Amino acid sequence: NELPFNRAVGTTYEPGSVFKVLTMAAALDAGVVTPETTMLDTGYFMIGGVAIRNWDRGARGPVDMTSCMRYSLNVCLAWIANEMGPTRFYEYMHRFGIGQSTRIDLSGEGNFPLATPGDANWYEVNLGTNSFGQGVAVTPIQMLTAINAVANHGKMVAPHLVRSVIQDGEERHTQPSVIGTPISAQTAETLSEMLAISI
């Protein structure tokens, strides 16, 4: 059964925990946390009058930021986003291209706007849930484009499907192009080390 579109480009989904990489990248880059920063995981975090809980309903006590990633702690990421504040958090998500088209060279790219403070459909609790990838929608290619900044020394590279075109008998290769630098090279290196330890 053939689909009329490419799901990786045309279908949005709620990314969930993979989004935590972007939240941690933003917090590290903004200087809000370091890998050694600790927080007390009591099993819940109140934000916007709603209790955010971990995926396993557990509590791990004092944890550093590497442990937050290792154990995929919703409570920790919500705390981090709250420490950043909505202005900085959403500024970084925009830098990562969340809620924006990647302009990949394939038709039918999907996109879902990112709700931010001031929008009718944004509530304070969104800051908490968005931090761990709930209440936000991306296409797989948008998520890959954003996260490639971590593996690419802070540089976000435009995605392409077309490697080259032949015009008038001459082959022209698609050249890599940087479409943004949402985080510094140092932040990317620090986070890569944290994620390697977390495996």
Q: Give the other-Cβ count within 10 Å of 57's Cβ.
A: 8
Residues 6+ apart with CB under 8 A from 44: 51, 52, 53, 59, 75
Query: Are the C-beta atoms of residues 9 and 108 closer than 8 Å to each other?
Result: yes
Q: Is 17 a catalytic residue?
A: yes
Strand locations in 57-114 (E): 61-64
15: left (phi over 0), alpha (psi -120 to 50) or beta: alpha
Residues belonging to the chain:
199
Give, as one character, the DSSP assignment of residue 158: P
Cα end-to-end distance, the chain, whole Å = 37
Query: Are the C-beta atoms of residues 45 and 52 closer than 8 Å to each other?
Result: yes
Rounded (10°) angle between helices 74-84 and 86-95: 100
Given the residues 17, 72, 192, 198, the one annotated as active site: 17
The HSE-up count of residue 84 (CA atoms within 13 Å, CB side) is: 30
- Residues annotated as catalytic are 17
